[in-house]
A and B are shown apart, each in its own frame.
Chain A
Amino acid sequence: AQKITQTQPGMFVQEKEAVTLDCTYDTSDQSYGLFWYKQPSSGEMIFLIYQGSYDEQNATEGRYSLNFQKARKSANLVISASQLGDSAMYFCAMREVWGNQFYFGTGTSLTVIP
């Protein structure tokens, strides 16, 4: 079974609007970390935000927030006030504390329309 599922291969959003990128995960561990990375067309991987499984509050970093719903095993990324520079691939990832692997989703390509 897939550990990380991103069901939106491509998304479009109008500039200045908010957008939600979906991510669901599969684990039987109680302790794990969830990550979002951005990959612009230049190719580098940029860390955006982290959520720990025991964190009670949703993580926020500037315009990025993580909508963490533990019971549903979802960790959606919300980008507020989209900018043209947000156009990129976005990857959701997970690390289980007692395992040592990182698992990535297949990514969502976001295009911000002027």
Chain B
Amino acid sequence: EAQVTQNPRYLITVTGKKLTVTCSQNMNHEYMSWYRQDPGLGLRQIYYSMNVEVTDKGDVPEGYKVSRKEKRNFPLILESPSPNQTSLYFCASSFIISSYNEQFFGPGTRLTVL
């Protein structure tokens, strides 16, 4: 089954404790991206990657790191989480074909930073 998986789905942590949210897709997509969703703000892009070893900042990259060592995986790293990073996080992937690249979303990770 074609899908984007994220782990964990729920995470409660404390300020400053490094964490990684994994993202994996099995559709051979070149493009992968991370978003955070906050009430009233919609989805905002954190980082995206056009292919292996190619990553770029989105609109809200501060406090986050990513890596793309393999085509299928795109982990999101919070080296020192803070309460303002409490949010719902989505990973997404797509092909890069002209302007049409419907993104397939993972199920989301709800992160709470205390």
Contact = CB atoms under 8 A, between A and B. Distances in A.
Interface of A: 4, 6, 9, 31-33, 35, 37, 43-45, 47, 50, 52-53, 91, 93, 95-97, 100-107
10 contacts: A33-B98, A45-B105, A100-B48, A103-B45, A104-B35, A104-B42, A104-B44, A104-B45, A106-B41, A107-B42
A32 B101 CA distance: 11
Contacts of A32: 99
Contacts of B59: 101
B78 to A, nearest CB: 20
Given A43-B108, A44-B107, A95 B42 contact: no
Contacts of B48: 100-102
A102 B33 contact: yes
A43 B45 CA distance: 17
Interface of B: 31, 33, 35, 40-45, 48, 50, 56, 58-59, 88, 90, 92, 98-105, 107-108
Nearest to A6: B42
B86 to A, nearest CB: 16
B38 to A, nearest CB: 10
A33 B100 contact: yes
A53 B98 CA distance: 11
Given A31-B99, A50-B100, A106 B40 contact: yes
Nearest to B40: A106
A104 B58 CA distance: 12
A6 B103 CA distance: 20
A53 B105 contact: no
A47 B50 contact: no
Contact of B102 (A6, A35, A96): A35
